[in-house]
Amino acid sequence: MVGVTVPGTIYPITVVKCRNEANAVPTVDLSAPGAAASVADACRGVGFFRATNHGVPAALADALEALAAAFFALPHDEKLEHASARPFGYGSKSIGSNGDVGWLEHLLLAVGSGSGSSTLPPPLRAALEEYTGAVREVGGRVLELMAEGLGLDRGAFRRMVAGKDGDASGEMVRVNHYPACPLASGVTGFGEHTDPQIISLLRSNRTGGLQIMLRDGRWVPVAPDPDSLFVNVGDSLQVLTNGRFHSVKHRVAASEAGKQARLSVIYFGGPAASQRIAPLPELLKEGEQSLYKDFTWGEYMKAAYKTRLGDNRLSPFELHCSSSNAVQPPPPPHVAPVH
């Protein structure tokens, strides 16, 4: 029995149909020559891409998916025994602490510290640790490709996710379970938002529901592909690149009644609380002004905890420079008309 009850408020999502989704979501073969340029192009144009040939063994992902599904099938009261000190551990319906809700239940764990994982069934805990270790390595390689694609030292971004001077990194892993919703189609599973970290990598089962917003404001669905990882540019990376890379807004519509539940696992590559977040000086062109105030990751998260899910959490840190000095975004990729 799945213990997700009806939220107090249901926020409907208009399920968007895109004629040719393949044109909307770039695909990057991480093993191919020229991958760095392809990654950079995808991050400039969409802020999101499908990563193939990533090297995470399918057996790890399949084992974690099976164990996570078994956990979420437990009686609700039994799952509540695994709720840790907020925000870690098991949760249901609530997203954050400011009133956002969704048709989902989840596990949220801190990478490395063990926060939220100590009470989990040992097989699930072991599977999470092994899978997270593999995806974390892929995230590091993608960060190196991002830096290379911008002409930076390959370790420019990756070093920020490794922690600093004994200050642990802000890495997390989240397992989201979206049971089929008997109420109506288009119910919010997870409301629209951007990810605050530097990078996030998502893998899901074969059930869809994920949608991303293109630069022209259109929402398009992302076809599920369990063999691939989906990479999101986070808010922090948008700042570090002075707007060259785009933090993509995304959301999830809950599965309709009678369909398989959606299960996704997301690794979030966040920096240490003391890490300074500001446009990298070596990236700025002569005369180019910073679009953002300097801040630390800890300061950003303190401000973000006071916001709602769909708020622009970078707003307090934005500087309003003259448009002639701002980095102009590339034109949006061609997408077939939405019907």
pLDDT, tens only, 12-51: 544 444 444 557 899 999 999 999 999 999 999 999 999 9
Does residue 1 register a pLDDT over 80?
no
Q: Interhelix angle for 122-149 vs 58-72, to 10°?
A: 130
pLDDT tens, residue by residue, 83-107: 665 678 888 876 666 656 788 899 9
pLDDT of residue 184: 62
Which position has the token pair 């707003």? 315
What digits encode the pLDDT tens for the residues 186-225?
Answer: 678 888 899 999 999 999 999 999 999 998 888 999 999 9
pLDDT value at residue 289: 94
Q: Which amino acid is at 207?
A: T
Return the pLDDT at 182.
Answer: 81
pTM (two decimals): 0.87
d(CA 24, CA 243): 20
pLDDT of res. 331: 47
**pLDDT of amino acid 185:** 65
Q: At 336, is the pLDDT very low, low, confident or very high (cuts 50, 70, 90)?
A: very low
> Can you tell me the distance from the alpha carbon of 69 to that of 127, in angstroms, rounded to the nearest whole number?
13
Average pLDDT of the chain, as a whole number: 84
Residue 170 confidence (pLDDT): 87
Tokens 């060259």 — which residue? 244
Q: Are strands 48-52 and 219-221 parallel, antiparallel or unpaired?
A: unpaired
Is 339 a residue whose pLDDT tops 80? no
Tens-digit pLDDT profile for residues 128-186: 999 999 999 999 999 999 999 999 999 999 999 976 666 778 899 999 999 988 876 66
* Confidence at 116, pLDDT banded by 50, 70, 90: low
Nearest to 54 by CA among 203, 221, 209: 203
Residue 334 reports pLDDT greater than 50: no
Give the C-alpha distances (Å, rounded to integers) separating 44 from 48, 112, 114, 146.
Answer: 9, 31, 34, 10
Report the percent of the chain where pLDDT is more than 70.
81
Please, are residues 280 and 156 in contact by the beta-carbon 8 Å criterion?
A: yes
- For residues 321 and 333, which has the higher predicted lDDT (pLDDT)? 321
For residue 56, give the nearest of 153, 123, 139 by alpha carbon. 139
DSSP SS3 for 106: strand
For 65-78, what is each residue's pLDDT tens digit?
Answer: 999 999 999 998 88
Model confidence at 119, pLDDT cuts 50, 70, 90, reads confident
The one-letter amino acid code at 191 reads G
